[in-house]
Amino acid sequence: MSVVAAPQRAKRSKKVTCEDCFFARNGLCALNLDEACPTYRPDHPDGLRPPSQMRFVFRQERRRQVGWAFPDAQEQARLHG
């Protein structure tokens, strides 16, 4: 049996720094940190853009019939009558 290695990522993500932050480049940052903070936003020519969010995906329609149900009155009468 041979084990197949998972392909490595071709491109490593660049580490973000405060120098790349919109707030730091526009003189709006009040923090003095060595690394990017949780409010980091990349400086973009279009200005400040909100971070990307997950897309909402609707689930498939569920079955309309139940897989199991209590017997109705006639079935109960036949079973226990």
pLDDT computed for residue 1 by the predictor: 47
Q: What is the pTM of this model?
A: 0.45
State whether the Cα torsion 34-36-37-39 is positive or negative. positive
Report the amino acid identity of residue 77. Answer: A
Taking the mean position of all CA atoms in its chain, how far away is CA 17?
23
Query: Which residues share a beta bridge with 21?
Result: 42
Least confident span in 7-11, 16-20, 41-45, 68-72? 7-11
Give pLDDT tens digits for 18-67: 888 888 888 998 888 778 888 888 888 888 887 788 888 887 776 666 66
